Amino acid sequence: MSTTYVGTSDLNTALEGFVDAYYGTHLDGGEDLTISDQFYEDMQTSFDKSNELLSGIGHIKTIPVGTQSTGRYPMAVRQMQANFMIYQRLISKHYGEISGEIPGWINVYRTRAMEFYSDIKGQDAVFTDDVSQGESGIGIGSWVTHTGSARIYTNYSAGFYWGADYPRVYVVVIDATSAGTLIGQSTFKWSNDHGLSYAITGVTTSTSWISLENGLSVRWEPFVSGTVVGTLDCQIGDRYDILCIPQNVPVKSGNIRFTTFKRG
């Protein structure tokens, strides 16, 4: 078994359904899934690549990086390795389809891995404790209804949630597409009481960060597959729920690099 920072959940967070789609085999058409040996080879290669980069960062004294008080590795380290692993697997799997430059829908994973590396190098990533859904701070969130193709980000990796005495579930819902379904045309409403009421409506979606309240921000990114950009980014009723739990210790904010990609 390879030494690794990532688990299957980290990989599937970076690219929805990645492990099953690229490493899994259902024997005899049954429900039991077998993971190929290539999975562990790619895991080792991406782990080595990550450590090669981390070893050049002066403020990181020990390689491999140790776990935090949560018992997990820092989120930025996990996602750096996850994106490197996805990138190398996509290159290998789709090599015969590539003519000329590596297509953007593959190269985006290497770019994102290097963004996480830059956050770590610049000490903009949270290393003292993970800020994760169900523990403290701002959650990743999850789709409740999703018929559009756009992705949504929260400022999970560097968020600091305050201003409430108890956990809250924020709900973001696309409420209008009369001006168009693209990001920047469609609008959304949001709730801080799990959808019981919506005080703010008609907010224009954007690829830039939109502050909701108490430290929570969201933004959208269009789905891109090869050279094809999604034309149905947002659909009325698309709903995203985000659990936020108040923190009493601030964390350093920096560049936010968190998203979940869907397979096209």
**Spatial strand order in the sheet of 216-221:** 151-154, 216-221, 210-213
Strands (E), 222-264: 224-225, 228-229, 239-245
CB 141 within 8 A of CB 152: yes
What local confidence, expressed as pLDDT, does residue 231 receive? 65
**Residue 262 one-letter amino acid:** K
What local confidence, expressed as pLDDT, does residue 257 receive? 45
The larger pLDDT score, comparing residue 127 to residue 7, is at 7
141 is written with which tokens? 């969130």
173 is written with which tokens? 């819902």
| Residues with Cβ within 8 Å of residue 100, at least 6 apart in sequence | none
What local confidence, expressed as pLDDT, does residue 137 receive? 74
What local confidence, expressed as pLDDT, does residue 17 receive? 82
The larger pLDDT score, comparing residue 248 to residue 190, is at 190
Q: What is the mean pLDDT of the chain?
A: 79
What local confidence, expressed as pLDDT, does residue 223 receive? 75
Per 3-state DSSP, the chain is made up of helix, strand and coil in percentages (nearest 5) of: 30, 20, 50
Write down the pTM of the prediction: 0.52
Q: What is the rounded distance in angstroms from the CA atom of residue 255 to the CA atom of residue 245?
A: 21
What local confidence, expressed as pLDDT, does residue 157 receive? 67
Element (H, E) at 46: helix 37-54
Residue 236 has pLDDT above 60, yes or no: yes
Q: What is the rounded distance in angstroms from the CA atom of residue 166 to the CA atom of residue 22?
A: 40
What local confidence, expressed as pLDDT, does residue 35 receive? 75
Summarize pLDDT for 136-192 with one digit per residue, the tens: 478 777 788 888 888 888 887 666 777 666 778 899 999 999 999 999 999 999 999
Place of tokens 């770019």: 111
Range with the lowest mean pLDDT among 58-62, 180-184, 235-239?
A: 58-62
Residue 1 has pLDDT above 90, yes or no: no
Which of 140, 157, 141 lies closest to 239 in space, CA to CA? Answer: 141
**Confidence class for position 197, pLDDT limits 50, 70, 90:** very high
Residue 225 has pLDDT above 60, yes or no: no
